[in-house]
Amino acid sequence: MSARAASAPATPARAASAPATAAPAPAAPAAAAPPADAPPADAPPADAPPADLPPADLPTADVRPAVPATPAVPAAPAVPAVPATPAVRTTPLAPAAPARPGRPLDERVSGVAVLLVVTDLAAIAAALLLAGPGRGWALAVGGTLFAVRTGARLYRRRLWLSYYHDLPRCIAADAASFGLVAALAVVLGEHDSTIRTVGVTVLLFFVIGAVPRAGVLQVARWARRRFGRGERAIVLGTGTLGVDLVRSMLDQPEFGLLPVGFIDPSPPADSASLPVPLLSGSLHDAIVAERVGVIVLAYTNATDAQIVDAAITAHSQGATILMVPRMWELYSDSADIERLRGYPLVRVASAPTERPSWWVKRGLDSLLAAVALVLCSPLLAAAAIAVVVESGRPILFRQERVGLDGRTFPLLKLRSMRPADETESQTRWNIAGDPRIGPVGRVLRRTSIDELPQLWNILRGDMSLVGPRPERPGFVAEFSQVHDRYWARHRVPAGLTGLAQVNGLRGDTSIADRSRYDNYYIANWSLWLDLKILLLTVREVFRSGQH
């Protein structure tokens, strides 16, 4: 779980905002730093290779000197700024502190998806009333139909609205639902009549639900054309492909993308001929100023590293990322591909914090943290008494850490030693083996009991149960300069435990590896991944307690 650092009862100063640079960069949040017990093992000295080399090329045995208490946290790299020309519309600069654009609820929740859910639930109810399978089997059939269609992503947010495109997936999902419920009936020894009733129910649902589903999609397409409803989009790339995509969006408003501008590090000389304005400034600035929800990555002269940084920046600002892949002619359709005049737009990622399941995560965080605090209160009381007996007050110490969007918060721990002063707490990297740690402190640290007060941080909303471990501002600033995309870890709240920690990256382990695991976690986040990490964390805690 958390890193081991010198503990201080006082709260240090907050990190300064990132300084402005000559070429604007997206003010994507400086990522939450790795767990405090992560040594600077792979942070190179001044003469080390550049940060973009593979981690294996970085030294792994240097000794970390103390760093200044709270230097500024740098902003994320980005696609280079486009020089302003008379034909360029300049976007206003974003605030100095990174911030997520406040998108209205109707832009974050798909009205089409909500209507499809409502029509399918109504069709399920009608089919159950007509077929009359009985209360128990009605719950089984109805729940399975809805769950399987959800798993088949038939309620996903989409641009290309076509009933015939969804039809094969609808048939497959409903057939799978029948198979699951029929198999359950066989296992329970039900009569053939039960299985026939289940089949009739599924068939009725498919027939009854077909017309409303097709109607919802048709009305949504009409509303997009008539009222200009759609996602505001920026296209990265002003080449032939990018221009053709924008013209297609303008010609087909029913597709649901409203292009507001281009961004390109090497724009054409005659930008006045572009169908929409060329935006200057960083991608982050443009997303905030234009209230953009979609970024389309077309072929551009930007390097791969710049494109990846741009995608991560868009991701951190809650935007959906669509990409025209290389050799796109070889791509076949799937749930993650949208088609615009034959061009496949691959849905690379959507920000976890913009998904409905993220609200479930936040609710579970609060519920589980509250329950855990109640259950662990006797243990916390005993640990607090032991701390007082061994080294006096205070029982808790507060240490400034960096969380979501680069904001700092006071992290709570049970005190396991007394630092020389506040500066030592903020700047000393690792205190493993420090003679000031007594028997009680060693037990608290080995069993991670000293981390339990962070359940209060979770209740406050500073942290989550699962996420990248938070770090002190000084080390965040240092590691962001050394390790590739370390800043990107700030796209989600810091966590009590994380994917890096359950993979053994605690203590004297590679910071570059931790950053890679944390960014993988963000890109692949799901409720199931959180559950798996929590279960693995429990296993690791019991293992450490046995030793």
d(CA 145, CA 150): 9
pLDDT tens, position by position, 57-111: 333 333 333 444 444 444 444 444 433 333 333 333 233 334 455 555 455 567 8
pLDDT tens, position by position, 303-341: 777 788 888 888 778 788 888 887 777 767 666 788 888
Give the gyration radius of the chain's Cα atoms.
27
Q: How far, in Å, are 8, 152, 419, 436, 497 from residue 415 at the CA level?
A: 8, 49, 10, 12, 19
Question: Which of 2-11, 293-302, 352-361, 403-412 ranks highest by mean pLDDT?
Answer: 403-412
Lookup: tokens for 448 = 């991670």
Residues 418 and 390 sit within 8 Å (Cβ to Cβ): no
Element spanning 297, H or E? strand 294-297
pLDDT, mean of residues 275-292: 86
| Cis amide leading into 394 (omega within 30) | yes
Question: Model pTM?
Answer: 0.65
Q: Which CATH number fits domain 88-94+228-354: 3.40.50.720, 3.20.19.10, 3.40.50.460, 3.30.360.10?
A: 3.40.50.720
DSSP letters, 245-273, are: HHHHHHH-GGG-EEEEEEE-SS--S-GGG
Q: How would you classify the pairing of strands 294-297 and 231-236?
A: parallel
Which residue type sits at 30?
Answer: A
d(CA 501, CA 494): 13
Q: How would you classify the pairing of strands 88-90 and 278-280?
A: parallel
